[in-house]
Chain A
Amino acid sequence: MQILDDSDREIVKTRFENELVSEVNITLFTQTDLGGLIVPGRECETCAPTEQLLREVSETSELINFKKLDIRNDTEEAARCNVSRIPSFLVSKGDETNVRYLGIPAGTEFPVLIEALVNVSSGEPKISEETKGFLEDLEENVSIKTFVTPN
């Protein structure tokens, strides 16, 4: 069963056709599908739906590359990306790791995923010149964590 309905898919597809500029990657850290087998300590209720949603979104544009990694097998990449929980994904142009999401971007959080893809792909996020100036002048790294619940 699809997560995105036809109308959502069309809206997303049109938006991407107009606003994606260059290739953009979604790297999902998850676990290998255990085929319904329940292994204590390995429960991950949202891993499969997160993967499906990200695949469906990535299929709406040829500019989106989707990569799935297994947190237990791809340990080197998980360490490089500082990922220790699943499901967790990064949106990037190359090997940068600073646009991050933990959990499933569903419901009211779905636009966050779309905006992240558009912003990273264009490299020109819709922020004011004043904010760009402030960010260019940053002398140290800034970590911003936003805790949300989808409705």
Chain B
Amino acid sequence: MAHAMAAFTQKVVAEVIEVQEFPDLGNAYQVRGVPLTVINEQYSFTGAANEQMLVEHVKNALLKNLEGAS
């Protein structure tokens, strides 16, 4: 789903990571269950998300960005 958003706009950079092949990234991002989605390096959630849920998570992550910046 993130890839679909990235296919629509270059403002979204979507990366899928096969964590068994890159255990160092799994450790760095504290992956304990999959799928784990990390937005803007600071907001994360575990579990599958449909389009609407992912948009909500992105909105929450952007709000968190704003809070972090203020």
Q: Please report A residues at the B interface, Cβ cutoff 8 Å.
A: 45-46, 85, 87, 91, 96-105, 109, 112, 115-116, 119-120, 123, 125-128, 130-132, 134-136, 138, 140-150
Contacting pair B16 A98 (CB below 8 A): no
B5–A104 touching, CB < 8 Å: no
Name the one of A97, A102, A104, A146 contacting B2, with C-beta atoms under 8 angstroms: A146
Q: Are B21 and A104 in contact (CB-based, < 8 A)?
A: yes
Tell me, in angstroms, the Cα distance from A45 to B29 when the chains sit together. Answer: 22
Task: Indicate which residue in B13, B22, B54, B55 contacts A143 across the interface (CB closer than 8 Å).
Answer: B13
Q: A99-B14, A102-B15 are in contact. Are A144 and B5 (CB under 8 A)?
A: yes
User: Provided the pairs A98-B13, A145-B37 are in contact, do residues A132 and B8 lie with their beta carbons within 8 angstroms?
Assistant: yes
Distance to closest chain A CB from B23 (angstroms): 11
The contact sample of 30 A-B pairs, CB cut-off 8 A, is A98-B10, A99-B3, A99-B6, A99-B14, A100-B15, A101-B16, A102-B17, A102-B18, A102-B21, A102-B25, A105-B16, A112-B16, A123-B7, A125-B5, A127-B5, A127-B51, A128-B52, A130-B55, A131-B51, A132-B8, A138-B9, A141-B13, A142-B13, A143-B41, A144-B2, A144-B12, A144-B13, A146-B15, A146-B35, A147-B26
| Bound form: Cα–Cα A141–B41 in Å | 12
Q: Is the CB of A119 within 8 A of B3?
A: yes
**CA separation between A142 and B8, bound complex, in Å?**
13
Are the C-beta atoms of A100 and B5 separated by less than 8 Å?
Answer: no
A96 to B6, CA, bound (A): 10
Task: Count residues on chain B whose CB falls below 8 Å from chain A CBs.
Answer: 43
The one of B13, B21, B31 that contacts A100, using a Cβ cutoff of 8 Å: B13
In the complex, the answer to whether B10 meets A142 with C-beta atoms within 8 Å is no
Residues of chain B from 1 to 59 with CB closer than 8 A to chain A in the complex: 1-22, 25-26, 29, 31, 34-41, 51-52, 54-55, 58-59
Residue contact B7 to A136, C-beta cutoff 8 Å: no
CA distance A123 to B8 in the complex (A): 6
> Please, how many angstroms separate the alpha-carbon atoms of A141 and B21 in the complex?
27
Q: Are A125 and B4 in contact (CB under 8 A)?
A: yes
